[in-house]
Amino acid sequence: MVGSINMDLIMGTPRLPVLGETILGGPFSTAPGGKGANQSAACARLGAAAVHIGRIGDDGFGRQLLEVLKAEGIDTEGVLKTPGTSSGVAQICVAGGDNSIIVAPGANALLSAGDVRQSEHLFREARAALFQLEVPLEAVAEGLRLAKAREVLTILNPAPWRELPEEILSLVDVFVPNAIELSQCAKTANRETAFERLLGSGVGAVVMTAGSDGAYFASDHLSGHVAAPVVEVVDSTGAGDTFTGALAVALGEGRQLAEAVRFGVCAGALACTRLGALPAIPRRPEVDDLYERSR
C-alpha cells in the first residue's frame, strides 16, 4: 500500500450547511483514516499481510495514527515521520447516510518517489499493490513502476480525482473509481463508453463503485454488475475504501474478477452500518457470512 494516513474529525449534523451558514451539529468524534490507511486496515482485517508506505507528521495525531496502524497488524516500516509538519486531517460532516469531506493533506503531500524507492524491498513478496491519489502523483507512479517490475497486481483508486498521465493508466491492472471519478477520467457520463475508453488506454480492468447500487465491472473478456445487499445505512464514510481493500484481498487470493467484486460489495455494505471510516471496517468472518448469503 502506498497511500495517505489521516486523522478524521467527524461531526454529525441534521443537514449540510449552505455557504455562509452556521448550524448546530454533533456529536463530535475523532477516528484514524485517510484512504490509504483505511484500505490497509481493510486488507489486514480481511486476512492479508498488509504493508503501508506513507508519511505522518511529528504531532500528536501522527503518534496516534502510527499506533493504530500497528494495532491493526499493519507493517509500518515504510511509514516515515516528517519533522515540522502536521499529519493529514480530514473534516467529515455526516448528515443521515451522506457525508461531506475536506482533506488537509499535511505530511501526505510530502511523500516522494524517493521515499517509495527507499521501501522497494517491501514490494518483493506482495501479491497486490494498492494506490490512491491523496499523495503526490510522483510517489504513485514510482510505486506502480516498482510493482509492475515485480509482476505484482496493481490497483488504483483515483480519489480524490486529478488528471492522470497515460503512463500511470498503462501501469494499472484494476482501476477502481466511483461514478463521478469514472466520468472525469473518461470524459463521458456514459458508463459503457467510459469503460471502453479506459480499457483502450491500457487499464486491465475497471470496477466502478455505485453505492447502494453495488458495483459495475468490465475487462477485455467480461463485464457485469453486482448488486449491493440491503443493510441499514448509518454512515457511508470509508465504504469505498473498504470495498477497494476487500477487492484487493480477494484478487490476491486468486478469485476471479466477478467474485472479487462481490466480496468487495459485501465488505463495503457492512462498513455502512457503523459510524466512521477505519473503525467501521468489518472483520473477515462477517464478510464471508454475508458473501455466502448474498450469492
The active-site residue out of 220, 241, 288, 289 is 241
Q: Does residue 262 contact residue 125 with C-beta atoms inside 8 Å?
A: no
Q: Which of 225, 237, 223, 235 is nearest to 265 (CA)?
A: 225
* Cβ-based neighbours of 86, under 8 Å, separated by 6 or more: 57, 59, 61, 104, 106, 107
C-alpha span between 38 and 181 (Å, rounded): 19
Q: How far apart are the first and last CA of the chain?
A: 29
Assess whether 288 carries a catalytic annotation.
Answer: no
Give the torsion sign (CA, 46, 51, 53, 56).
positive
H helix intervals, 96-158 = 113-118, 137-149
C-alpha span between 295 and 25 (Å, rounded): 40
List own/partner pairs for 279-287 with CB under 8 A and 24 or more apart: 279/31, 279/32, 280/235, 280/237, 280/238, 280/239, 280/242, 281/38, 281/41, 281/42, 281/45, 281/238, 281/242, 281/245, 282/45, 282/242, 283/45, 283/46, 284/45, 284/46, 284/47, 287/46, 287/246, 287/263
C-alpha span between 41 and 45 (Å, rounded): 6
Instruction: Provide the 8-state DSSP code for 133.
Output: S
Q: Does residue 82 contact residue 110 with C-beta atoms inside 8 Å?
A: yes
What 3-state class would DSSP assign to 199? helix
Active site residue ranges: 241
